[in-house]
């Protein structure tokens, strides 16, 4: 298959959509990102890579970090994670408070904000230095020690994170947050502020395409059964309340973030990352969704 040719075709076909959608300017530091950016990077298990566009430029991975957070905590405490967070799609926006109230402070899944806030709380309990350990984990998966948090983005979000604060407080009132509210919020915003390029993110995400084992270092980061569960949650909950649409149009497990990135993978075959900052009304990259739909259609590859 001529993957390079396919990526180049996609780059042409998405031109009318470039610049469309809205930037996640509710985080002030993200408001200045150039909406016209587009990068797409495909990495196969045999190490061949194909790319178009701005694939080396760093962007804020935001909620994509929730996959790494889940993988790291699961590698430490296993199934216990699911005692405090469910695994059902929410069908509500990622920062919605309504379900939390009537479901007794147990978040629907680990990939919406409330779920990731509980995971952050678990990381504070079970990891010695969660801030350093998550970054090291991502660096190791990507094989790149230059990956870092962007403190400016983290601080910018902390300053306006009233809804996240409301969620942590609500969950604390139900006994599902064990640490200090401010400590949880600080760490969560820091996790969201990781910056990566499409190329780095595809390298890190490839561990999921390889069933939890590093392709180059052959290290078993998570067990096969943990991999299976994380992948299932990506498939059902990875795209806010657009997970059904993503499965319908693209057909790959993955995760999006409001920084405009989407990381996805085909088990046993490849990881693929698209970045374009203009978001649709559900918070997913408008161009990213289209580009991935074109990719799985043209290549005839998807999990279905």
Nearest approach, Cβ of residue 227 and ligand GLU (Å): 22
Give the position of tokens 């929730």: 66
Residue nearer to ligand GLU on the CB measure, 147 or 258: 258
3-state helix, strand, coil in the chain (%, to 5): 50, 10, 35
Residue nearer to ligand GLU on the CB measure, 7 or 289: 289
Residue nearer to ligand GLU on the CB measure, 62 or 280: 62
Contacts of 228 (CB under 8 A, 6+ apart): none
118, 247, 258, 262: which one contacts ligand GLU (CB under 6 A)? Answer: 258
Does residue 150 touch ligand GLU according to CB under 6 A?
no
Does residue 257 touch ligand GLU according to CB under 6 A?
yes
As to burial, measured by CB atoms within 10 angstroms (0-12 exposed, 13-18 middle, 19+ buried), residue 134 is buried
Nearest approach, Cβ of residue 46 and ligand GLU (Å): 31
Tokens, residue 289: 């969704």
Nearest approach, Cβ of residue 259 and ligand GLU (Å): 7
Residue nearer to ligand GLU on the CB measure, 164 or 203: 164
Residue nearer to ligand GLU on the CB measure, 189 or 209: 189
Helix ranges, the chain (H): 3-13, 65-77, 98-102, 113-126, 130-142, 151-160, 162-173, 181-192, 198-209, 224-237, 243-249, 286-299
Nearest approach, Cβ of residue 94 and ligand GLU (Å): 5
Contacts of 140 (CB under 8 A, 6+ apart): 214, 217, 219
Does residue 280 touch ligand GLU according to CB under 6 A?
no
Total residues interacting with ligand GLU, rule: CB under 6 A: 10
Residue nearer to ligand GLU on the CB measure, 44 or 134: 134
Residues of this chain, 155-214, that bind ligand GLU according to CB under 6 A: 157, 164, 192
Q: CA-to-CA distance for 83 and 86, rounded, in angstroms?
A: 8
As to burial, measured by CB atoms within 10 angstroms (0-12 exposed, 13-18 middle, 19+ buried), residue 269 is middle
Residues of this chain, 78-137, that bind ligand GLU according to CB under 6 A: 94-95, 113
Residue nearer to ligand GLU on the CB measure, 102 or 162: 162
Does residue 63 touch ligand GLU according to CB under 6 A?
yes
Nearest approach, Cβ of residue 214 and ligand GLU (Å): 25
φ, ψ of residue 104 to 5 degrees: the values are 65, 30
Residues in touch with ligand GLU (CB under 6 A): 62-63, 94-95, 113, 157, 164, 192, 257-258
């Amino acid at each position: 298959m001529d993957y390079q040719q396919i990526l180049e075709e996609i780059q042409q076909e998405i031109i009318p959509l470039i610049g469309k959608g809205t930037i996640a300017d509710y985080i002030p530091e993200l408001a200045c990102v150039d909406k016209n950016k587009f990068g797409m990077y495909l990495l196969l298990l045999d190490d061949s890579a194909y790319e178009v566009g701005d694939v080396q430029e760093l962007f804020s991975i935001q909620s994509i970090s929730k996959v790494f957070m889940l993988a790291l905590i699961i590698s430490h405490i296993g199934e216990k994670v699911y005692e405090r967070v469910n695994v059902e799609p929410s069908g509500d926006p990622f920062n919605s408070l309504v379900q939390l109230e009537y479901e007794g402070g147990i978040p629907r899944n680990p990939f919406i904000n409330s779920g990731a806030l509980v995971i952050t709380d678990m990381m504070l309990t079970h990891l010695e230095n969660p801030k350093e350990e998550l970054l090291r984990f991502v660096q190791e998966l990507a094989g790149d020690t230059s990956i870092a948090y962007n403190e400016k983005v983290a601080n910018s979000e902390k300053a306006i994170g009233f809804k996240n604060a409301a969620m942590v407080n609500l969950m604390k009132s139900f006994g599902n947050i064990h640490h200090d509210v401010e400590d949880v919020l600080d760490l969560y915003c820091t996790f969201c502020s990781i910056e990566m390029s499409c190329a780095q993110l595809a390298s890190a995400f490839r561990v999921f395409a390889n069933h939890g084992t590093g392709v180059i270092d052959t290290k078993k980061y998570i067990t096969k059964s943990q991999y299976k569960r994380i992948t299932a949650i990506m498939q059902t909950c990875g795209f806010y309340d657009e997970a059904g649409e993503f499965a319908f149009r693209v057909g790959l497990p993955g995760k999006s973030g409001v920084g405009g990135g989407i990381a996805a993978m085909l088990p046993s075959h490849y990881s693929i990352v698209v970045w374009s900052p203009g978001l649709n009304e559900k918070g997913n990259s408008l161009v990213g969704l289209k580009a991935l739909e074109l990719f799985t259609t043209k290549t005839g590859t998807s999990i279905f």
